[in-house]
Amino acid sequence: MRFLIMNGAGNRFAVFDARPEFGGDAQFQLSDEKVIEICKPGSVVMGPKGADQLIILRSPKQAGADIFMEIRNQKGFEVDACGNATRTTSWLYMRDANVDSCVVETNDGLLLCAAAGDMKIAVDMGPPKLDWEQIPLKEIMHTHHIDVKVGPIDNPVLSNPGAVSMGNPHCVFFVEDFERAKPDKVGPMIEFHPLFPEQANVGFAQVKDKDTIRLKVWERGVGMTLACGTGACAAVVAAVRQKRTNRKVEVIVDGGVLLIEWRETDDHVIMTGPVELESEGTI
C-alpha cells in the first residue's frame, strides 16, 4: 500500500492510500489501538515527531467527489474535518491526476480545492456553522460570546470566547499574552468543558491588527499543534463576529502562515496555505 508522510504548515499526517487504483485495499481498516500506536511520537512508522492525525484515502462515496478522506486523531477516533489534511489530500490528488482542482469528500461534506501557487492549496471550507445546536453546545445561547471563563469569577484570565463549527467544534479565546493565557494548561480544561458534548478544539488568538492574527490551538484528541486549519478559519470567523478584524486575515501559526477569508458574498470561508511532502513509499 502507498504510504506518505505529509504536513500542512507543520500539522503532520500519516497517510495511507487505500484506493485500489494505487495498489490499496478498499477494505483496509485500522483499529483505534493501531492508530494510537502509529501516531505516537517515537513510533516505528512516524519517527520521533509522530503524527497529529492519521489519514486514509478512499474512493469517493458521493457523486461529484474525486477522493474520500477518512480522518483519525491521535486517540484513534474518527473526526469529520481537518483543514490542513484537506490541503495535503487535494495536493496529492491533483499531482497524481495532473489537474489544478478537485473535490475532497469528508464526513462533513464536499470541499472544493484548487492549486494556489507552488505547493500551496486553497480550500473552500464552506460556510461556518454558528447556531448553538450546530456547533454543538449543551445549552441554548448566542455564540458570538459564550459563557466560559477561566480564573477568578470576578477577574477572569480568559472570558467571552466565540464558538464556531467548521465541521468540528471550536472555542476561540482572544488573548493579549500567551504566557498569561497558558494554552497548554487551559486547552485540556476547555476541551472537556461540559458545555461541549463532543469536546472542543480550543483556540487562543492574539489580534495583531485588523489583518493579522497570531494563533495557538489546542486540538481535541491531539493537544498543542503547530497548525490547525479549521482552527484558523474559526478564529477569523469569531474575530469578525466580535468586530476585531477584517474578513481577510493572515493567520500566523507556529508552523507557518495561513490566509483565511470569510467571504461576504456567499458566507464561505476560504483557507489558503502550504503543503509539504516529507516522504513517500510503500508499507
- Phi, psi torsion values for 187, nearest 5 degrees: -50, -55
CA distance 188 to 193: 9
Q: Are 80 and 168 in contact (CB under 8 A)?
A: yes
Out of 39, 113, 228, 233, the active site residue is 228
Catalytic residue check, 113: no
Catalytic pick from 82, 113, 171, 233? 82
The helix or strand, by DSSP H or E, that contains position 38, with its residue range, turns out to be helix 32-39
Containing 230, the helix (H) or strand (E) segment is helix 229-241
Query: In sequence order, which residues have a C-beta less than 8 Å from that of residue 232 and are 6 or more positions away?
Result: 83, 213, 215, 217, 251, 253, 258, 260, 271
Q: What are the Cα distances from residue 25, in Å, to 16, 58, 89, 92, 155? A: 10, 9, 18, 18, 56
3-state secondary structure of 35: helix
Q: Is 102 a catalytic residue?
A: no
Q: Hey, which residues does 106 pair with through a beta bridge?
A: 109
CA 13/CA 234 separation, integer angstroms: 21
Q: What are phi and psi of 182, to 5 degrees?
A: 55, 65
- Whether the CB-CB separation of 187 and 220 falls below 8 Å is answered with no
What amino acid positions are annotated as catalytic residues? 82, 228
